[in-house]
A and B are shown apart, each in its own frame.
Chain A
Amino acid sequence: EAGVAQSPRYKIIEKRQSVAFWCNPISGHATLYWYQQILGQGPKLLIQFQNNGVVDDSQLPKDRFSAERLKGVDSTLKIQPAKLEDSAVYLCASSLEPGPDTQYFGPGTRLTVL
């Protein structure tokens, strides 16, 4: 079974630029999560989708971050414009059904904002 795919694996941009991350969840998984993991900290949930609807985006900085899940499969997370403090690893996870112990994580995208 293929795992959660993410791209790119690494991205370096300058502040005020835009960036987008892509995630392809495990086939058949209805729930998709985006996390932000700052160096030295645990992951922080940004947004949770159930199929193509948003379940929770309470910690998503909506003035600069946006996310969508087209047709309830792939998802993209965008930052526009980026700030220095956005430097982090962005993790995507998926699960067959909602619940913390059923989440499968991708390898993450490491973003550096200069």
Chain B
Amino acid sequence: GDSVTQMEGPVTLSEEAFLTINCTYTATGYPSLFWYVQYPGEGLQLLLKATKADDKGSNKGFEATYRKETTSFHLEKGSVQVSDSAVYFCALSDSNYQLIWGAGTKLIIKP
């Protein structure tokens, strides 16, 4: 079945560092891909999405490109802030439009 694999955390970076969180997927067909973020004490929020190959999703300085050749959707940000500390989830939508989730990656940004 469809699945999502993302890098294990926690990922610890200093403020203004470059961020990459890896995400790869296995799916039949051409799913839509998503990154969700969960800030401490808050609910999950959609961060960005891409619906077809080579699409780039972006929001709040974060970007991810849908790479069909490598079945990847890596999350990147050029300069992270302390406020970016959160848990980040990669997900895909299956043929029934239901979300298949990765395990999440905790990001810790130190000032």
Contact = CB atoms under 8 A, between A and B. Distances in A.
A105 B104 CA distance: 16
- Sort chain B's interface into a size bin: 20 to 34
Given A42-B89, A42-B104, A100 B99 contact: yes
B97 A105 contact: no
B101 interface: yes
Contacts of A99: 93, 97
Nearest to A92: B43
Contacts of B102: 42
B101 A42 contact: yes
Interface in A61-114: 91, 93, 98-101, 103-108
A48 B94 CA distance: 15
A4 B44 CA distance: 11
B97 A107 contact: no
Contact of B43 (A41, A48, A108): A108
- Give the one of B89, B97, B98, B103 with max A CB within 10 A: B98
B82 interface: no
A104 B43 CA distance: 8
| 6 residue pairs, one from A and one from B, having the closest CB atoms | A42-B101, A105-B43, A105-B44, A100-B93, A100-B99, A107-B43
Given A56-B96, A99-B93, A101-B46, 11 more contacts: A3-B43, A4-B43, A41-B103, A42-B91, A42-B102, A42-B103, A43-B101, A91-B44, A98-B97, A100-B93, A105-B44
Interface of B: 4, 32, 34, 41-46, 49, 89, 91, 93, 96-99, 101-104
8 contacts: A41-B103, A43-B99, A45-B98, A56-B98, A91-B44, A100-B34, A101-B34, A101-B93
Interface of A: 3-4, 40-45, 48, 56, 91, 93, 98-101, 103-108
